[in-house]
Structure 1
Amino acid sequence: MKKTILLFLSLSITSIVFSQNSEEAKSLLDEVSTKMGAYENMYLGFSQTLSNEDAGINEDDEPPIRGVINLQKEKYSLNYLGNKFIYDGNKLYVINNDEKEISITEGDLDGDDGFIYPSKLLTFYKDGYNFDMGKLQNINGRKIQFVTLNPIDSNSDIVKVELGIDAKTKHIYKLVQTGSNSSKTTFTITTFKSNQVLSENFFKFDKQKYLSQNYTID
């Protein structure tokens, strides 16, 4: 009888601690979303690395891929791998500068391949994830609090997402995404600017500009 009572108490305490941990993680993510979402716009310079222990790929095997993105609510302009992506809130324009080809689709990318797209950076966690507080790490003199997000869908292409949050600024510093194929993609924000002066047409696609440069538009 005593063992049964002790087991029940142990399970109850574990459940309470887990619940508090999850609520603390959710509260921090909400704070980050509110803080960063309040800016008129954001400029993010980032680096991306890839690793996969199963395939023998280490994070420092190749130089990091670098990119820049301007975000304004759900609109974005992304320069990545030599291509430019413009999402104006309605249509997505993918500009392949090497091939001089442009594809246009209605709506943003839907994330069916498990990737977290720029327009959802501050909101993706609100649907389909459980949360855990991770480690507090000192990275280059900055205190970075990690939060682990585990997909509720067991068939998700994402196994887990680890968000590193600057404990002082409440800005996202790092995003580590582990896929179902054991690959780990790490995005680190290297430059952050907010409330930049942008033209009214910054997130608009200039069709005539690219036609004059002999781009093919699908």
Structure 2
Amino acid sequence: MFKKQILLIALTIIGLSSYGQNSSKAKALLDEVYTKVMSYDNIYIDFSSALENTEANLKQETNGNVTMDGDKYVLNYFGAKQLYDGKKVYTVVPENEEVTIEDVNEDEDNVSPSKMLTFYKSGHNYQWDILQNVGGRKIQYVKLIPIDSNTEIKSVLLGIDTQTKHIFKLIQTGNNGTKTTITVNSFKTDQPLSSSLFTFDEKKYEDQGYYIIRN
């Protein structure tokens, strides 16, 4: 679940690195988004997330933030923290006083946000969707529809700020009726980062009595 949420957040931040050909306008806009964002040294994003399924009477809202520098990232979400230092993934859940440490198989695991984007490199059709005015900002939506009818995802809408070429909103609709919406509240680039930001201090959590799980 946590990795799937990171995928959505990463997609919201970076955009897509390869696109279908059925909509030249959609492809051109997404190309601009990708080129713009890949020019940054690092990215910090503050976001809000909403998960809703009316049939299941489910509604869940939360805020989070993520800092990305190349493949490395630190994500704070649902009261948990996940850090990827380029080699291992560390998930800290204070509520359970638990830390999970996982090795990364780069050939199999889509762990880093940049690698997780490959999920969207193929298998989708793209459509030019509606244009909305949000607080004076023009948000152009592009719709991604999976070609594989067996996928859990029915569609993904990406709302792109036409001036900044940053993604403002992502709306994913599942075949089970669940809708996940991620809205970007703050987008900062090329920030001064601490040299220890992506370094995990295992001893600190051991001293606090956290249970360490190694997978």
Shorter-chain TM range is: 0.7 to 0.9
Equivalent residue number for residue 25 of structure 2: 24
Equivalent residue number for residue 49 of structure 1: 50
Q: Structure 1, residues 43-69: CA drift from partner, whole Å, max 9, x if none?
A: 100001122243455xxx66x310011
Cα pair distance change 1:20/1:128, threshold 3 Å: closer
| One-letter amino acid of the counterpart of residue 98, structure 2 | E
| One-letter amino acid of the counterpart of residue 207, structure 1 | E
Indicate yes or no: 2:73 matched with 1:76: yes
Cα pair distance change 1:37/1:124, threshold 3 Å: farther
| One-letter amino acid of the counterpart of residue 88, structure 2 | K
Q: Structure 1, residues 69-105: CA drift from partner, whole Å, max 9, x if none?
A: 1011222100011100111222211101111111111
* Kept in 2: contact 1:77–1:86 (CA 8 A): yes
| Aligned pairs, number | 192
Equivalent of 1:147 in 138, 142, 147: 142
* Kept in 2: contact 1:76–1:119 (CA 8 A): no
In 2: Cα distance, 1:189 partner to 1:120 partner: 21
| One-letter amino acid of the counterpart of residue 128, structure 1 | G
Indicate yes or no: 2:96 matched with 1:99: yes
What is the correspondence of 1:59-138 to structure 2 with a 5 Å cutoff? Answer: 64-107=61-104, 110=109, 118-119=113-114, 124-138=119-133
| One-letter amino acid of the counterpart of residue 99, structure 2 | I
- Greater CA drift, 147-156 or 170-179: 147-156
Cα pair distance change 1:146/1:66, threshold 3 Å: same
- Bigger radius of gyration among the two: 1
Q: Structure 1, residues 129-181: CA drift from partner, whole Å, max 9, x if none?
A: 21111111111221000000111222111111100000000001001111121
Structure 2: where are the runs of 5+ without partners? Answer: 1-19
| One-letter amino acid of the counterpart of residue 178, structure 2 | S
Larger RCO of the pair (alpha carbons < 8 Å, separation 6+): 2
Equivalent of 1:170 in 143, 149, 165: 165
* Kept in 2: contact 1:37–1:73 (CA 8 A): no
Q: Structure 1, residues 183-202: CA drift from partner, whole Å, max 9, x if none?
A: 10000000111111112221
Cα pair distance change 1:32/1:141, threshold 3 Å: same
TM-score (structure 2 length as normaliser): 0.80
TM-score (structure 1 length as normaliser): 0.79
Structure 1: where are the runs of 5+ without partners? Answer: 1-18
Q: Give 4+ residue runs of structure 1 displaced > 6 Å after superposition.
A: none
